[in-house]
Amino acid sequence: MAPSVSSRAGAPGASEAGPRGAGVDGCGRGITYLRIAVTDKCNFRCVYCMPAEGVPPRSHEEMLSAEEIARFVRIAAREGIASVRLTGGEPLVSHRIVPLIRELREIPGIEDISLTTNGALLPRMAGALKDAGLDRVNISLDTLDPVQFGAITRLGRVEQALAGIDAALSHGFHPVKVNCVVVRRLQQDVFGMARLSLERPVHVRFIEYMPIGSDEERGFRAADAGEGPAGELRPEAWDASDTVPSRELRERIDAEAAAAGMGPLEAAAEGGAPAGAGPARYWRFPDAAGTVGFISAMSNHFCASCNRMRLTADGAIRPCLFSDAEYRVFDALRAGDDDAVARIWRDAVSHKPREHEVIKGTERFMSQIGG
């Protein structure tokens, strides 16, 4: 199924009212943060992100080039974008990632460049990424249990992610954040994850499970939503009951900390949140080197303060993660028409929704959106 693209995408005169000012959306929110999917490919196959066989292959001609991405960022920077996060898929599988970061570092107005990764390639790439100008990294790690990690990622080993965390720290990236998506029926050891912040200066963030990617698009059948073979994860069976509210998670961690003879999580002091804190709310164990954060995308959504837009690897601007509305900018970039790119950007910004709706899925996989 081809992804749906807004009928407004790139149409002349599409935004009759126009934006309320460069960098401000129709609801008065300042738009300063851009997430870019540099590829939809990945060396893992995380069950909530893409199917076991990966996403359908796309030719290079169908995807934005590094030069086109950099030109888009130059235009977006003039419209108020100051922070850029590079995502995928897995951005480190792209051979162009280092030169792209180097080029983005030279763009006036871009103050912060970050990257989200599964960490597997960081041990051999961290030095080059740092030298190119990357400021910080987020590493995805949903469990410390080796068997569960293999089941979630299908292709990965937990030792790879842990080595990636160590590589990021040793090369001076700051802050280093560890992202954990929590799904109730997986029964992850969230206390064990939180303990990573005790001795390492990392910021462990628990993210509420979000219904991204529809059952139909994933190729799942609702009739098969029952028990599968032993050890097989079945995300098509996950539903709203699998979202664990952040407050419940914090209470669970505190209870296990008490059982282990530790003090409870304490709200991080003012100024104690890491750079680029975004929507997370931060806590810390007494005397811990790092923090524990909670991103409540479902139980207490943060739409009123959302400052981000997304660019997909195939050249569509996506104003909201939870909406399938997209504004195709690929053709304008390929044609080198910067004025058209700016018009489409402003149109997309002006139509950013006030808040996301309650959804059961999206037409694209998370790997195709860019997280």
Q: Please report the DSSP string for 241-273 in residue order.
A: GGB--HHHHHHHHHHHHHHTT-PPPEEPPTT-S
Quick one: pLDDT at residue 73? Answer: 98
- C-alpha triplet 65, 67, 69: angle, nearest 5°: 70
pLDDT of amino acid 219: 35
Evaluate the CA torsion angle 353, 355, 360, 362 in order and state its sign.
positive
What average pLDDT score do residues 333-358 get? 90
Strands of 316-318's sheet in order across: 266-267, 281-284, 291-295, 202-208, 176-182, 136-140, 112-117, 83-87, 33-37, 308-311, 316-318, 327-328
Beta-sheet pairing, 202-208 with 176-182: parallel
For the cut 50, the answer to whether the pLDDT of residue 151 exceeds it is yes
C-alpha to C-alpha distances, 266 to 106, 156, 271, 291, nearest whole angstrom:
40, 33, 14, 10
- Would you say residue 238 has pLDDT above 90? no
Predicted pLDDT at 156 = 95
Question: Which residues in 305-328 are b (16+ Cβ under 10 Å) and which e?
Answer: ebbbbbbbbbbbbbbbbbbbbbbb
By CB neighbour count within 10 A (0-12 exposed, 13-18 middle, 19+ buried), where does 60 fall? Answer: exposed
Residue 324's pLDDT band, with cuts at 50, 70 and 90, is: confident
Measured on CA atoms in the order 345, 347, 350, 353, is the torsion positive or negative?
A: negative
Pair of tokens at residue 117: 């990764």
Reply yes or no on whether the pLDDT at 342 is more than 90: yes
Across the chain, mean pLDDT equals 85
Considering the entire predicted model, what is its pTM? 0.86
How is residue 59 written in tokens? 């030719």
Mean of the pLDDT values across residues 157-161? 97
**27-41, 111-125, 261-275, 350-364: which has the minimum mean pLDDT?**
350-364
Examine the pLDDT at 11 and tell me if it is beyond 70: no
pLDDT of residue 228: 45
Please tell me the predicted confidence (pLDDT) of residue 360.
Answer: 52
In the numeric block, which tokens belong to residue 166? 């160590």
Q: What is the pLDDT of residues 61-92, one digit of tens each?
A: 999 999 999 999 999 999 999 999 999 999 99
Say whether pLDDT at 332 is over 50: yes
Q: Cα–Cα distance between 77 and 83 in angstroms, integer?
A: 9
Q: 3-state class of 48 per DSSP?
A: coil
Q: Model confidence over 207-226: pLDDT tens digits?
A: 988 765 544 433 333 334 34
pLDDT for the residue 370 = 56
Kindly report the backbone phi and psi dihedral angles of residue 206, in degrees, each rounded to the nearest multiple of 5, phi listed first.
-95, 125
More confident residue, 369 or 317: 317
Taking the CA atoms of 40, 42, 48 and 53 in sequence, report the sign of the dihedral they define.
positive
The percentage of residues in the chain with a pLDDT greater than 90, rounded to a whole number, is: 65
> Tell me, what's the pLDDT at 239?
78
Q: pLDDT confidence of 123, banded at 50, 70, 90?
A: very high
Q: Which helix (H) or strand (E) holds 85?
A: strand 83-87
Residue 133 pLDDT greater than 90, yes or no: yes
For position 16, what pLDDT does the model report? 35
Predicted confidence band at 122 (pLDDT cuts at 50, 70, 90)? very high
* Whole-number pLDDT of residue 53: 81
| Stretch among 88-102, 114-128, 158-172, 197-211 having the lowest mean pLDDT | 197-211
Sole residue written with tokens 């100008």: 133
Q: Cα 59 to chain center, whole Å?
A: 24
